[in-house]
Structure 1
Amino acid sequence: MASTVYDVYRIVCGIHGRCQGLGCPTMGPCPRPHGTLTARRVMSTDDERAADERTATEGTEGARPSTESLVSRLWTPLTPSRRGPRPTLSVDRIVEAAIELADAEGIGAVSMARVGKALGVTPMALYRHVSNKDELLARLADTIAADPPVIPEDIGWRAGLELWMRAQIDMVVARPWYLDLPLTIVLPGPNRLRWIDQAFRLLEGLPLEADEKLALIGTLAQHVLGESRVQAESVAAGENPYEDLELMLQRWADPQTYPHLFAAMATFGAPAEPTAEAPAEPTAEPDQDDVGFGLQIVLDGVEAYVARKTAGRSS
């Protein structure tokens, strides 16, 4: 969810029909302060869809639609004409075929021509349902995010967010081609917004403003994206890329150039010596997998931030 979480600002403002003054952190000053981003741009009209269809038919696959146009298509699927025989294609069937192709050969194999061939139709037949390759890829990204995890209502926010993050990592590792999608394609469609909505539910009751919660969700999603890449590449390689770090250091590096790293590696796995700043813990936590350790470090930071906000409200 990381790459476009801040596009939610634009969607929210669009649904309300005017700038909501959310202070979009990655966009700077609102480019449309007088409400020119209207709900009409999020839910496109029949006339706009017809114009988009003509553009897609007359243009080429390389003609890239705007972000707003792609988002509107994700929220308002194209409906083919009812004239003539009953169509044998649908948006869902086209997306399903594209996902099967990506699973088998990677996202680079997905094109209108290849998907058409897999379905036994010409590429032009696809354009009645999908405007171009960008829309197809945007739909792929949203479709594979269709199932947020089932998180109990009574679970704490921290445990809930860990489940939320792990589910995203599992989803990406199962389909590593997702990591090769352009960031401009991974847009806030209906399915992806369900994940973001779920994260907001988990954060209910915390002393945070709405923009803080959204920025927090984006930060967690960025960690998820990085962790997913490491895990996906490890699975593809069939090994942990860090397991042979000590051996590589001994072979290629020298302790004079990297004294602190060598000193740390020499005590790898041994308990840390207590210091005045960091006294020894009374009990040791059980070993965690690499993913779990990273999640706990990130969530420790969130917990510290929430505690600071709580203390500020109390004083």
Structure 2
Amino acid sequence: MLQHPPIGQRPSLRPCRLAGWGTYLPDEVVTFGSQTRYRIPDGMSQLDMLAAAAEDALRRADLHPDDIDCIIAACAAGVQPIPCTAALVMERVAPRAGAAAFDVNSTCTSFITAVDIASRYLAAGDYERVLIVSGDVGSRFLDAGQRESFELFSDAAAAVVLTRETGGKNAPGVLGSLQQTWPAHAHDTELRGGLSLHPAQSYADGDPSDYLFAMNGRRALLGMLAVLPDFFARFFDRVGLGLDEIDLVVPHQASRALGIAMRRIGIPRGAYVDRVAEFGNMVSSSVPFMLATSLDEGRIGPGDTVMLCGTAAGLTANALLLRL
């Protein structure tokens, strides 16, 4: 069982600054009733989206690509099995950076996990400037016969640059984090084919459905609602802050049931971002895209405290408190 620090032993601030952010949203739009979704065109790749978002983030941070010393790709499904997606992003965006490059995957909450990891490297002084990229092309894995998922997902990408920061009482950085997985729900949402269980060469003789995304939405939702209250109670106890001290909650835009999940953990409407109708579930880019959008729209800014959170296949719950 996960243990949280006892009272008086809260996690210390991991100082780091959100120096830049960028997004990419395809031009192609499809609608399902009142729901708007985005689709990558045939001539574009996931890597194209990730590179565009990364370049945007570097421009905002006023950094040259060679300034980056670590690149983390935080995607649910990468560009190819080998090498890691981060290496391919580095080849495209910062080929002479001399940086470390690796992938992090907790599916839809991969970005939160990557920020958690990056903040630890930055606080330790191992790196000075970390580029995190997230994005998926869910539309290329969807089963048109499974309406629930087919009408939910959008293609998009987002990126941030985190830089090392000196500490201080009100310094920007990560105030605390918590992640847990409940494997009893591991198969509620899955994509089985493409790697070692069902290799690509087995497609012709195998079950084509193994190579398409499958989701039992009701079971996933019920599993999530069962674990979230205790998970967030432990999270708030760990960080030593209450909801009234958080300026904005940026959750993964999992589905139209987002409001139900937020009410379940006591977060009132207006205190969190809900843009599911406009953008859908953007998989790994969902949280960073909404974070960037909130910054661009002036909803949050320097000094504000933001909670990044969400659930993902696994079943995984993830939460991180970030002071901008």
Q: TM-score range by the shorter chain?
A: under 0.3
Greater fraction of residues in helix: 1
Structure with more relative contact order (C-alpha pairs < 8 Å, separation 6 or more): 2
Task: Give the TM-score normalised by structure 2.
Answer: 0.27
TM-score normalised by the chain length of structure 1: 0.27
Which of the two has greater strand per residue? 2
